């Protein structure tokens, strides 16, 4: 299995960039200058993920304007997963003998798991989410391929004033 090429910015951050190996005219998209709002059509849980990810990705320099549609798809698939699993989780079914089944047991009772729309949609969205999230380093193994330099902490102005005197 071939791994996708690392973005040049990631190589620069890691210290593995080699100018002679770099493409001659690689596009350099503008980084996002402020946190964009999530698209209005995204489901609730997708918006929540967007609001958690955008500030963090922007802070480490992994979010450019042209990345927003990919991030949108990542968050959309996350929203689809959560919405479908919540539907399954809140399922209830009363059996003929009076027993009540809840959750996955109720949802799957008497059905073929290969033909249930919510389950199929959630599974497909999981595969898509995994692919999109890898592009942003959102899993531990994907993050391990990114080596960000330490950002020096700025001294407290009051502490600096006290140390000068």
Determine contact, residues 89/106, Cβ cutoff 8 Å: no
pLDDT in tens, 105-123: 777 777 776 777 888 888 8
Let me know if residue 70 belongs to a domain: yes
Let me know if residue 114 belongs to a domain: yes
Let me know if residue 40 belongs to a domain: no
Let me know if residue 9 belongs to a domain: no
DSSP letter at 18? -
pLDDT in tens, 39-79: 999 999 999 999 999 999 888 888 888 889 999 999 999 99
Let me know if residue 6 belongs to a domain: no
Question: Would you call 104 exposed, middle or buried from its count of C-beta atoms within 10 A (0-12, 13-18, 19+)?
Answer: middle
Q: pTM value?
A: 0.67
Domain count within the chain: 1
Task: Report how far residue 32's alpha carbon sits from residue 29's, in angstroms, rounded to the nearest whole number.
Answer: 9
Let me know if residue 10 belongs to a domain: no
DSSP letter at 30? P
pLDDT value, residue 63 = 87
The proportion of the chain whose per-residue pLDDT surpasses 70, expressed as a percent, equals: 79
Q: Is the pLDDT of residue 93 over 60?
A: yes
The residue range of the domain holding 130 is: 66-93+100-145
């Amino acid at each position: 299995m071939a791994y996708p090429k690392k973005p040049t910015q990631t190589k620069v951050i890691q210290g593995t960039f080699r100018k002679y190996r770099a493409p001659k005219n690689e596009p350099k998209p503008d980084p996002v200058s402020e946190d964009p709002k999530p698209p209005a059509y995204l489901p609730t849980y997708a918006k929540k993920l967007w609001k958690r990810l955008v500030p963090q990705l922007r802070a480490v320099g992994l979010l450019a304007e042209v990345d927003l549609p990919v991030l949108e798809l990542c968050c959309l698939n996350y929203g689809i997963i959560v919405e479908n699993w919540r539907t399954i989780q809140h399922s209830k079914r009363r059996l003929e003998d009076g027993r009540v089944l809840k959750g996955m047991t109720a949802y799957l009772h008497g059905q073929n798991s290969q033909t249930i729309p919510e389950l199929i949609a959630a599974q497909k969205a999981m595969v898509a989410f995994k692919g999109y999230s890898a592009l942003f380093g959102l899993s531990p193994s994907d993050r391990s391929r990114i080596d960000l330099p330490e950002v020096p902490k700025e001294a407290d102005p009051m502490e600096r004033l006290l140390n000068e005197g």
